[in-house]
Amino acid sequence: MNATHSISLPCCFNIISRNKMLQSINLPSVSTVSFFCPISISSPTFLGLQSSAKGSGSPHQQIYKTRSCTTHISVSASRGTEVHVLEEHALSMEDTSEAFKILPGQALPLGVSEIEDGINFSVFSQHATSVTLCLLFRPTGWGDCDTRKEDMVELGLDPSVNRTGDVWHICIEDLPRSNVLYGYRIDGPKDWGQGHRFDSSIVLIDPYAKFIEGRRLFGDPNNKISKFLGTYDFESPTFDWEDDVNPNIPEKDLVIYEMNVRAFTADESSGIDADIRGSYLGVIEKIPHLLELGINAVEFLPVFEFDEMEFQRRPNSRDHMINTWGYSTINFFAPMSRYASCGGGPLNAAREFKEMVKALHDAGIEVILDVVYNHTNEGDDKLPYTTSFRGIDNKVYYMLDEDSKYMNFSGCGNTLNCNHPVVMELIIDSLRHWVNEYHVDGFRFDLASVLCRGTDGLPLSAPPLVRAIAEDDVLSKCKIIAEPWDCGGLYLVGKFPNWDRWAEWNGKYRDDVRRFIKGDCGLKGCFATRISGSADLYRVNKRKPYHSINFVIAHDGFTLYDLVSYNVKHNDANGEGGRDGSNDNYSWNCGFEGETEDANIIALRSRQMKNFHLALMVSQGTPMMLMGDEYGHTRFGNNNTYGHDNALNNFQWAKLDAKKEDHFRFFSEVVKFRKTHDIFKHENFLEKKDVTWHEDNWSNSESKFLAFTLHGEKGDDIYLAFNAHDYFVEVAIPSPPQNKDWFRVVDTNLQSPDDFVAEGVPGVKSTYNVAPYSSILLEAK
């Protein structure tokens, strides 16, 4: 769609619209000016043209600034439909009263730093031909980087003075130490066929910005199209961590709880103050719940800055959605600013994130971040959303094919060029920043197989980035977890390059356990292998059982309740015609699709959820459960709810209260039972002396019953039996160790509180009738 601008000022200047049409206007003659005439059609993209000429080289330079305003107009598209457009007009250009002293600056460190001479700005761009630093001054507390509200100062960098190698830099003396927004206009070759996507009309975010300013309120419908800029802060006092200490929980002792910061407390039923719902501080309010459940590590869905309104930038089938999961990173250093309380902005977000980490550590809970280094928010050439890397040096930051088109191993339009030396350094610097500045304890790497691809997209046997993380002085001490697959088919479960340090999400555990518990044939041997630590996958070199992150449920896919309530996904609400989300869920609805009032089906579903949870918590390896499964959260069969900022994702605290005495009680007690019994947490893989399999029928594919005894060092044995048949199985119970008796701790067929009795129920006989679709646990005492 074409748009026309008509503005009259005193001298000739050229404006370039998106369709490259030229128009003539007048401007005063100055050494460096910038006319700012952006237009956005359901997009935050800034359009305009910069005209620059080198100054005299004096250390003092007059800086010009642009005042602007925005109007709403309607434009008729070719098909006669009316499209609403946000159009920003430059109203006046005037000389600033300030005259800053400009110095060449230094190349390192990248980003913004305070040095002896002033505030230093440094950005990498190998292929740029010009770089312009853009500054926006604001009063303290001003909460939006919308250029309508302040004056943007633009300063062109002289490559003969302000460039060292591929790094552009400048230092400004007497610049405020905070409350300054900044970005860059970067120009370079226009040849897309060579991989370049330069567009100097867009003000770009510094990849090393430590804070990002933009929309203040999450999902604000009145500010859908927000511009994001970097900011810095050298004035605020250093955060007082007091005596904060990493809980340093051994990996074999972890019980991980995957959760979403916003969704945890966003619902009104959380009962907390409206100003802190959905925030980092909201998590602090609910730490007692985490302790009552018994987990000792949280794995947060992405908390790096992202634009939750990205689906609403242009009309499309998903423009009703809000990105609540956050797998669309804008910047790798800045905490998500809209997780601050009261719309507090980026600096408050950073402080409150630290308060949250400190409070979790005080409670003995570790903090693991789900990090997305496989792609960014910037999309592809069909639907670009240029905010940073694409406009800074596309050819470096992204994997491109031989035709200079984006490789898409992420399923999101682009793939970060992780093993390029510059990108690799960015990722390492980012990870260290989160450890050193925010005291996080570990990372789960989304689609981590992307990290194993070279710059040409081909798999590497020893990827430099993966090795560097494993061997880094700081990062090697953290929990590092790979999601060992990507959307390009590089499935590395059990084969992820690891240097004996990387753990993995065990996708085979998920699939085999799901299939056995629901009653598929021929899975008994696989089930036994998975719950005993997946030695077939991880008994290599010095790897341990705890390098298998065992899970039945994760954020993407069915919730535990939906796993036993739906045979197929129901994703119509996502606007993708049901094409999104996995089709291989290995689920069983227990006889009816969706909600039902049939008491027998409800009871069967309850048993199945307890069976899954018990299997997870008695397995060798590191268990992970999903937020909400402790009360039976449902998404009504939607297995890909990434874009729903509502009850589909939000923790329902009223439902938790309703399930406190039965479902939650069982889940919590089983977690705590695992934590207090080392027999489930072997440091090494099980040997013959550690387990007895009560099974002589391994080859019978029709058999869906498995029983075994784990042997404790002091005769404190545990007997377990899982019956996935639809009929009772009367099983002979082995004799207990000498001077011991068997006590029944778990029978998932019984009602609460008899389904779990921590001290155990005596009187176990020589046989036990295990009910259909149920499991039992006996403890020798």
Residue type, 696: D
Half-sphere exposure of 273 (CA within 13 A, CB side): 8
Read off the tokens for 13.
Answer: 């200047």
Q: With DSSP H G I counted as helix, E B as strand and the rest as coil, what are the percentages for the chain, rounded to 5?
A: 25, 25, 55
* Length of the chain measured in residues: 781
Q: Which of 325, 356, 351 is nearest to 337 (CA)?
A: 351
Burial annotation 461-479 (CB, 10 A radius, 16+ → b, else e): eebebbbbbbebeebeebb
Distance CA(606)–CA(600), nearest Å, equals 10
For the CA atoms of 207, 213, 217, 220, the dihedral, rounded to the nearest 10 degrees, stands at -80
572 labelled catalytic: no
* Catalytic choice (144, 299, 483, 645): 483
Q: What is the DSSP letter of 252?
A: G
Count Cβ atoms below 10 Å from residue 61 Cβ, excluding itself: 18
82 labelled catalytic: no
Q: Which of 32, 34, 28, 35 is nearest to 61 (CA)?
A: 32
Count Cβ atoms below 10 Å from residue 596 Cβ, excluding itself: 15
Q: For strands 167-173 and 774-780, give the pairing.
A: unpaired
- In order of 59, 119, 203, 345, the CA distances from 177 in angstroms are 20, 8, 21, 17
Query: Residue 143, class by beta-carbon neighbours within 10 Å (0-12 exposed, 13-18 middle, 19+ buried)?
Result: middle
Host H or E run for residue 602: helix 599-618
* Catalytic choice (378, 446, 486, 779): 446
Q: Is 66 within 8 Å of 48 (Cβ atoms)?
A: no
Scanning 223-267, the segments in alpha helix (DSSP H) are: 261-265
Q: What string of DSSP letters covers 462-529?
A: S-HHHHHHHH-TTGGGSEEEE----TTS---TTTS--TTT-EEE-HHHHHHHHHHHTT-TT-HHHHHH
Distance CA(148)–CA(425), nearest Å, equals 36
Distance CA(201)–CA(274), nearest Å, equals 39
Distance CA(723)–CA(704), nearest Å, equals 6
Read off the tokens for 94.
Answer: 């005037």
Distance CA(471)–CA(347), nearest Å, equals 32
Q: What is the DSSP letter of 585?
A: -
Distance CA(545)–CA(535), nearest Å, equals 7
Host H or E run for residue 70: strand 64-76
Catalytic residues: 446, 483
